[in-house]
Structure 1
Amino acid sequence: MPTDDKSAYTDKQKRKAEHIFESEKERGVSEEEAERIAWATVNKQDGGGKKKRQQH
């Protein structure tokens, strides 16, 4: 599914995106649009990929 580097995302976020992607494909959405929707949803719900903690 993902074509871009998604290494900043947790395994849970990747599984969530895959599930959303498959659901959208079943609804008849194009593969490109399904991927966009999947990652946009993960970003909206989880705030994007995992964040690095700043050290002081």
Structure 2
Amino acid sequence: MTQGDKSAYTDKQKRQAAHIEESEKEKGRSAEDAERIAWATVNKQDGGGKKSGSGRAGSSRPGHH
């Protein structure tokens, strides 16, 4: 793969990206564009390589008791 460290992704996410990449190549995209689109799609669906929540700590909001 050309960009970034994909080790944080699950095997399922890696397979999904590979499938999307192949699909994009069949549509006539370059290998580089296909890979970029594939990983962008996986990130959009799953929030990236880390499955550690949405970035918020708990459900409490400042100022709301």
Which structure has greater helix proportion?
Answer: 1
TM-score range, shorter chain: 0.7 to 0.9
Q: What TM-score comes out, normalization by structure 1 length?
A: 0.83
RMSD of aligned residue pairs (Cα, Å): 1.5
List 4+ stretches of structure 1 deviating above 2 A: 50-53
Task: Give the gaps of 5 or more residues in structure 1.
Answer: none
| Matching residue's letter, 1:36 | R
Task: Give the gaps of 5 or more residues in structure 2.
Answer: 54-65
Q: Percent identity?
A: 79
User: Larger Cα Rg: Structure 1 or Structure 2?
Assistant: 2
Q: What TM-score comes out, normalization by structure 2 length?
A: 0.72
